[in-house]
Structure 1
Amino acid sequence: MEDNTAARNHIHSNPAFDISVMEGGSKFFDDDGRPKRTGNVMTASAHIITAVIGSGVLSLAWAIAQLGWVVGPVVMVMFSIVTYYTSCLLVACYRDPVTGNRNSTYSAAVKNHLGGFMYKVLGIVQRINLYGITIGYTITACISMVAIRKNACVHKHGEGKRCLINSNPYMIAFGVIEIILSQIPNFDKMAWLSTVAAIMSFTYSGIGLALGIAKVAEIKTIKGSLTGVTIGVQVTQTEKIWRIFQALGDIAFAYSFAIVLIEIEDTVKSPPSEAKTMKTASKISLSVTSIFYILCGCLGYAAFGDLAPGNLLTGTGFSNPSWLIDIANAAIVIHLIGAYQVFSQPFYAFVEKKAAQLYPDNHFITKDIEIMSYKLNLFKVVWRTLYVISTTLLSMIFPFFNGVVGFLGALGYWPMTIYFPVAMYIAQKQIPKWSTRWVCLQVLCLSVLVIALLAAVGSIVGVVESLKDYKPFMTST
């Protein structure tokens, strides 16, 4: 699931509707009494682009290096086509075909189309995904902080000096920041968060793209091969296979945004129908995003060839001009500090609501302590602190950008982008079992499931291989 702060914030931006203000008429309110929506094709496209483009773009050069000049771009185009198709299925489920009522969230659409059991399954998938994403964000932010520190070290001691830096203090620092921010009530309602996230996301992605163009122009040659990394030179045959699978997960992670597509659709005015607007918006945004992704991935591969790094802006990636690299990495850190909260807040709210329902008379859980003008809830403080500590510890144990990104992509792409949209569409349209269309949709679903499972296994193998040379809490990079 990519860094979708702008779209997700919409869930919390509209005030609850008060029936007493309906006298304002249809000029201010929609058919269901909620505030009038003003979104259109361009605003929806902007939300989707902001939701899609994020830190996943940094691993695409490495992914293409594993697949080669032929298969790499083809796979990215195929992911784009499949994502667009299932997005069209998903947006068609926004309104109930019988009552015409709107499903304002992804979970509401699943509950109304597939029932309570699948709604609970979705909840589990979402929360596992959210937890995993916050781990991924901690790792990515730490890598960028270490890269900035390394740049400073190299400038101070010269290019020949090897600067070994332990990443643990930076992960701990990131965790401390998140513990503090997690105590701010209603953090997810801060409208500026989406704006900052969007600016930072385009800053580091744009810098990566520009540096790729500059590097290729400088070396005046295009590196890489038709089949990717060479067996017997960079990797063994087995490693090549696992890396191909992991690359699929990295690409899937870059295209994971379906979880907020219904929320984006809920911002679109009607008429024309929301589904029609969203299909056009999906086509525009995925075309723009795919071109951007292919350019970033291909230019990165052209610049570094089979030795393309897992993260273009750190390690063996771009190193000059150092000030520009520092700006890009700082943008990543700032982006992910806020994005972590956006993805952890729903998890916080779920646990706190459940705890209050199960133990309504427990003062530790339900009672607020007033300190000056601030209301402090001890359960929230302890629970949110433990959550951040757990993600920080796991990040310190498994600080591997590519492996974690690939695994998260495999974990989130299939259920959210493929399975639930297909299942809801079949239920809504009442497509007969074993009909040609039903079979085609099932084949699509099963095919992507196989790819997702292979990507997950490949990513796990990648992490296991990395652990052979890594000592948790001790190794410096």
Structure 2
Amino acid sequence: MMAQWHGDHDKLELGRVNACIVNAAPPYDDSNKFDDDGKTRRTGSFWTASAHVITAVIGSGVLSLAWSMAQMGWVAGPLVLLLFSFVTYYTSSLLADCYRHPDPVTGKRNYTYMDAVKANLGPRQVLLCGVVQYANLLGTSIGYTITAASSMVAITRSDCFHHKGTKGPCQASNIPYMSMFGFVQIILSQIPEFGELWFLSVLAAVMSFLYSTIGLGLGIAKAVDHQHGYGSITGISVGDPSVGYVSMSNKIWGICSALGNIAFAYSFSMILIEIQDTLKSSPPENKTMKRASLFGIITTTIFYMSVGCAGYAAFGDNAPGNLLTGFGFYNPYWLVDFGNACVVVHLVGAYQVYTQPLFAFFENTLSSRWPKSQFIHKEYYLKVPWGEPLHFNLFRLVWRSMYVVVTTVLSMVLPFFNDVMGLIGAFAFWPLTVYFPVQMFIVQRQVQRWSPKWCWLHLLSVSCFAVSLAAALGSSECMISDLKKYKPFQG
């Protein structure tokens, strides 16, 4: 609690009629500006948290949902979407109770996901959590580079089709566009403070809503056309590959990869604690966060279901891996171009939002290890005629640029949208969305071993592990198959 006393400053000039009252004026108290831990008082509410959840969940993963539906069909596709939404909400509720420790209402606040893991599970689990989180961030950087380049290629080809017709020679390589995207990220990655990126985060959220809505609208428009695909009960048919069907093994691997793509679309648990840390302490943060998660996930699921079903109805079993770049839509070409441009703008900002925590962790670790290193710590200033001097750090310049270069090169080697998305989703879903929330909740609430609650939580965790493992195997198998037909740096 912080307070300031301003006796003389707060005296009321009443013509000196009552000096006693003047001298007894109550002190000025600014304690309402701070929380119980001395940090600035939080002002977040149910609505702000719901908005954060929705914008965190809805992203480039929505573009693969029609393809995922095509792998499973009209029955299993929507059912799997609903199951993922249920599991995500349930484990998000468990995680919300782990924001404070040891008591979920009055305990000490955990400001990040890893803080919560450390408080509940100890340092060894923090190491495991860190490896998973930062590996996921690396994979996401690669996935975003692939997706952005695909959208830029789609814009180029769309314009070509508009002028030369759909049969024209309109091939384009994604290598130059990946290089362009990487160059932009090298520049943006030199922004030293994550807090200065708030404008990129807001812009990214707006763009994600725009292109998702465009994809939904185009899917509905094509679905009501006479040449729509309808889809089938079981999805892509098994049969002779020479006449357009797939083998049983490819069908199974495709379903597994689709599970990873849907898991990627629902990945947001890693930032849930950070969202909860913006909420006012009254009512208790865990109660508000549970309501916000429910509202946000229901809203997102309705939107996902609409986009996935509309896209599948439009293209049937031939649904493209990326709804906006598969060229099931040619017209209006300007709207397709605008949707893909929104994807690019979104991912320019999202790349930085996801990689800045990784940058900060690595730099803080090395800074504390070598506190006297000039290379790591010294800041340089460059005068510019149009504003304040630019400041940069040689270590930050070198290591962040190297990170972007590595992720860009890996994207060129593995430019497979659905395979990469599925692998990222598989790798992140079980540990971050299920395992850690379940284990933390068991410790937090002291759930008795072999009790019905304990058994249910472990059954959920084991089941989700099996799903993640299947998704990882399916995505890996599909990637290996694609690599056999792909020549790196040429497509």
Following TM superposition, where does structure 1 have runs of at least 4 consecutive aligned residues deviating by more than 4 angstroms?
18-24
- Give the structure 2 partner of residue 406 of structure 1: 422
Q: 338, 345, 352: which is aligned to 2:356?
A: 345
Structure 2 CA distance for aligned equivalents of residues 210 and 120 of structure 1: 44
- Give the structure 2 partner of residue 259 of structure 1: 270
Query: What does residue range 80-119 of structure 1 map to in structure 2 within 5 Å?
Result: 80-98=85-103, 100-119=107-126
Give 3-state SS (helix, strand or coil) of 1:375's partner: strand
Give 3-state SS (helix, strand or coil) of 1:218's partner: coil
- Give the structure 1 partner of residue 432 of structure 2: 416
CA contact (8 A) 2:201 2:353 kept: no
Q: Which runs of 5+ in 1 are unaligned?
A: 1-17
- Give the structure 1 partner of residue 73 of structure 2: 68
Q: Percent identity at matched positions?
A: 53
Give 3-state SS (helix, strand or coil) of 1:376's partner: strand
- Give the structure 1 partner of residue 456 of structure 2: 440
Q: 24, 49, 60: which is aligned to 1:44?
A: 49
Pick which of 94-103 and 222-231 moved more. Answer: 94-103
Q: Which runs of 5+ in 2 are unaligned?
A: 6-27, 384-388
Structure 2 CA distance for aligned equivalents of residues 263 and 117 of structure 1: 22
Query: What does residue range 356-367 of structure 1 map to in structure 2 within 5 Å?
Result: 356-367=367-378
CA contact (8 A) 2:2 2:34 kept: no
Does residue 394 in structure 1 map to residue 413 in structure 2? no
- Give the structure 2 partner of residue 173 of structure 1: 180
Q: How far apart are 1:414 and its partner, in Å?
A: 0.8
State the Cα deviation string for residues 153-191 of structure 1 (Å, max 9, x = none).
Answer: 222322221311111010001011111111122154332
Q: How far apart are 1:269 and its partner, in Å?
A: 1.3
- Give the structure 1 partner of residue 259 of structure 2: 248
Does residue 191 in structure 1 map to residue 198 in structure 2? yes
Q: 133, 138, 146: which is aligned to 1:126?
A: 133
Counterpart residue identity of residue 436, structure 1: P
Q: How far apart are 1:360 and its partner, in Å?
A: 2.8
Does residue 323 in structure 1 map to residue 334 in structure 2? yes
Structure 2 CA distance for aligned equivalents of residues 206 and 124 of structure 1: 35
State the Cα deviation string for residues 233-272 of structure 1 (Å, max 9, x = none).
Answer: 4211100000000000000001010011111111111322
Q: 1:220 to 1:149 in 2, by over 3 A?
A: closer
- Give the structure 2 partner of residue 308 of structure 1: 319
Counterpart residue identity of residue 256, structure 1: S
CA contact (8 A) 2:197 2:353 kept: no
Give 3-state SS (helix, strand or coil) of 1:190's partner: helix
- Normalised to the residue count of structure 2, the TM-score between the two structures is 0.90
Structure 2 CA distance for aligned equivalents of residues 386 and 72 of structure 1: 40
Pick which of 259-268 and 186-195 moved more. Answer: 186-195
Q: How far apart are 1:439 and its partner, in Å?
A: 1.1
Does residue 270 in structure 1 map to residue 301 in structure 2? no
State the Cα deviation string for residues 171-222 of structure 1 (Å, max 9, x = none).
Answer: 0010111111111221543322222111100000000011111111222766
Q: How far apart are 1:26 and its partner, in Å?
A: 3.6
CA contact (8 A) 1:201 1:332 kept: yes
Does residue 147 in structure 1 map to residue 154 in structure 2? yes
Structure 2 CA distance for aligned equivalents of residues 41 and 439 of structure 1: 32
Counterpart residue identity of residue 266, structure 1: D
Give 3-state SS (helix, strand or coil) of 2:101's partner: coil
Q: Who wins on radius of gyration, i.e. which is larger? A: 2
Q: 1:368 to 1:129 in 2, by over 3 A?
A: same
- Normalised to the residue count of structure 1, the TM-score between the two structures is 0.93
- Give the structure 2 partner of residue 4 of structure 1: none
Structure 2 CA distance for aligned equivalents of residues 156 and 357 of structure 1: 58
Q: 349, 365, 390: which is aligned to 1:374?
A: 390
How many equivalent pairs are there?
Answer: 458
Q: 1:21 to 1:247 in 2, by over 3 A?
A: farther
Counterpart residue identity of residue 81, structure 2: M
